[in-house]
Amino acid sequence: MTIQEAIIFGTKKLHFLERPTLESEILLAFVLKKPRIYLHSHSFKNINPFEEEHFKRLILRRENFEPIEYITEKVSFYGQEFYISNGALIPRPETEILVDVASHIIQSKNCQSIAEIGVGSGIISITLALLHQNKSLEFHASDISPEALFNAYVNIQKFNRSNIALYNSPFLDFNTHQHFDLLLSNPPYIKNKTTLPKPLSFEPPQALFGGDRGDEILHKIILIAKERNIPYVVCEMGYDQKNSIMAFTKNLALKKLEFYQDLSGLDRGFIIEF
Ligand SMILES: C[S@@+](CC[C@H](N)C(=O)[O-])C[C@H]1O[C@@H](n2cnc3c(N)ncnc32)[C@H](O)[C@@H]1O
């Protein structure tokens, strides 16, 4: 089988996807350990039987709706390539907005000690650490999933960020005395038992489901910030959770509650100042 024939084979198998040829090329380039451009300059070169078998297996996984990020163990976030494996949530583009909002607060309020609940693959803390390399920030990030923490660890090594400490712990239970200036989280916020599209079934349930109503973990995070005197909180949330957050925080004597929207104009997160 030549490179060109392999691409055509993959394109046919993945015809139901939005960009079958692109995905076929990404998977073939991954198997051959070459950049995609190589495929075009060597389209008549034969691939060996092992490469062909490997490629066909990956195409089959993609036909079965497994996200391409898990197959290639790569995901792009905020212009950087992160490691990802199927124990951690695949970072979503809307989380880049949380990073921008948090980055502005770090800058304008001179935050130094930052906590993150639910670090996943580490994209939020790592991107902020990269954006503020000139400051002596410290990040303390928790997750209840050892697989997610493994992803975060690999990415911390990849980007050489020594100022991010990881904890296998729920919420902020790892360090009950430390003062934090800012608390960040993109927690699970989908209602338990929601039927999800097939690709989401490859992602870890503990990264998706937030309780019977969906907003339970968000509420708990807000209470933790209040109890721990953390002055600023930035969280991502579901597009339909604004009213719930407003009602929950009504009697908490906040200095400020603001919501931000995603690129589709949907409510996607909030900023709290205590
Ligand atoms: C939606 S994912 C977000 C991952 C990553 N921060 C991102 O934005 O891509 C939520 C993460 O929270 C973790 N998690 C769920 N409940 C938690 C809890 N009580 N304490 C700490 N982490 C939790 C999950 O394991 C998952 O990694």
Q: Are residues 160 and 109 in the same domain?
A: yes
Which amino acid residue places its CA nearest to atom 2 of ligand 1? 207
Q: Which atom in ligand 1 lies closest to the alpha carbon of residue 91?
A: 9
How do strand 190-191 and strand 182-185 relate by DSSP bridges? Answer: unpaired
Whether residue 123 is contained in a domain is answered as yes
Q: Is 117 in the pocket of ligand 1 (CB under 6 A)?
A: yes
pLDDT at residue 177 greater than cutoff 90: no
Which amino acid residue places its CA nearest to atom 27 of ligand 1? 120
pLDDT in tens, 71-112: 999 999 999 999 999 999 999 999 999 999 999 999 999 999
pLDDT in tens, 206-262: 999 999 999 999 999 999 999 999 999 999 999 999 999 999 999 999 999 999 999
Whether residue 82 is contained in a domain is answered as no
- How many Å lie between the centroid of ligand 1 and the Cα of residue 104? 23
Average pLDDT over the chain, rounded to whole?
Answer: 97
Q: Are residues 38 and 119 in the same domain?
A: no
Q: Give the confidence band of 265 by pLDDT, cuts at 50, 70, 90.
A: very high
Runs of H (alpha helix) within 132-241: 146-158, 216-227
List the one residue out of 36, 13, 10, 35 whose CA is nearest residue 24: 10
Whether residue 173 is contained in a domain is answered as yes
Long-range contacts of 238-245 (CB under 8 A, 24+ apart): 238/189, 238/190, 238/214, 239/266, 239/267, 239/268, 240/267, 241/189, 241/214, 241/215, 241/267, 242/267, 242/270, 244/213, 244/215, 244/218, 244/219, 245/215, 245/218, 245/270
Q: Are residues 254 and 147 in the same domain?
A: yes
Place of tokens 């200036």: 181
**Total number of domains in the chain:** 2
Q: Are residues 42 and 119 in the same domain?
A: no
Q: Are residues 198 and 269 in the same domain?
A: yes
On whether the CB atoms of residues 66 and 202 are closer than 8 A, the answer is yes
**Residue 144 exposed, middle or buried by CB count within 10 Å (0-12, 13-18, 19+):** middle
Q: Are residues 53 and 136 in the same domain?
A: no
- Ligand 1, from 78, 80, 89: best to mutate by most atoms within 8 Å of Cβ? 89
State how far the Cα of 232 lies from the Cα of 111, in Å rounded to an integer: 9
Q: Is 97 in the pocket of ligand 1 (CB under 6 A)?
A: no
Whether residue 52 is contained in a domain is answered as yes
Q: Are residues 139 and 17 in the same domain?
A: no
Helix (H) or strand (E) holding 260: strand 256-261
pLDDT in tens, 32-67: 999 999 999 999 999 999 999 999 999 999 999 999
pLDDT in tens, 101-160: 999 999 999 999 999 999 999 999 999 999 999 999 999 999 999 999 999 999 999 999
pLDDT in tens, 235-246: 999 999 999 999
Q: Which atom in ligand 1 lies closest to the alpha carbon of residue 116?
A: 6
Identify the CATH number of the domain in which residue 19 sits: 1.10.8.10
| Poorest-pLDDT segment among 150-159, 160-169, 173-182 | 173-182
- Ligand 1, from 123, 186, 262, 268: best to mutate by most atoms within 8 Å of Cβ? 186
Q: Give the confidence band of 175 by pLDDT, cuts at 50, 70, 90.
A: confident
Quick one: what percent of the chain has pLDDT higher than 90? Answer: 98
Whether residue 78 is contained in a domain is answered as no
**Residue 225 exposed, middle or buried by CB count within 10 Å (0-12, 13-18, 19+):** buried
Which amino acid residue places its CA nearest to atom 13 of ligand 1? 118
70-74, 172-176, 193-197: which is most confident: 70-74
On whether the CB atoms of residues 62 and 16 are closer than 8 A, the answer is no
Paired tokens of 86: 């199927």
On whether the CB atoms of residues 44 and 71 are closer than 8 A, the answer is no
Q: Are residues 8 and 121 in the same domain?
A: no
pLDDT at residue 176 greater than cutoff 80: no
List the one residue out of 190, 184, 182 whose CA is nearest residue 210: 190
- How many Å lie between the centroid of ligand 1 and the Cα of residue 238? 14
Whether residue 73 is contained in a domain is answered as no
Q: Who's near 76: CB < 8 A, 6+ residues apart?
A: 82
Whether residue 150 is contained in a domain is answered as yes
Whether residue 72 is contained in a domain is answered as no
Q: Are residues 37 and 96 in the same domain?
A: no
> What per-residue confidence (pLDDT) applies to 10?
98
Range of the domain at 56: 3-64
List the one residue out of 23, 34, 27, 91 whose CA is nearest residue 58: 27
Q: Are residues 159 and 41 in the same domain?
A: no
Q: Is 95 in the pocket of ligand 1 (CB under 6 A)?
A: yes
pLDDT in tens, 6-32: 999 999 999 999 999 999 999 999 999
pLDDT in tens, 195-204: 999 999 999 9
State how far the Cα of 218 lies from the Cα of 241, in Å rounded to an integer: 10
Q: Are residues 51 and 185 in the same domain?
A: no
Q: Are residues 214 and 267 in the same domain?
A: yes
Identify the CATH number of the domain in which residue 107 sits: 3.40.50.150
- How many Å lie between the centroid of ligand 1 and the Cα of residue 169? 11
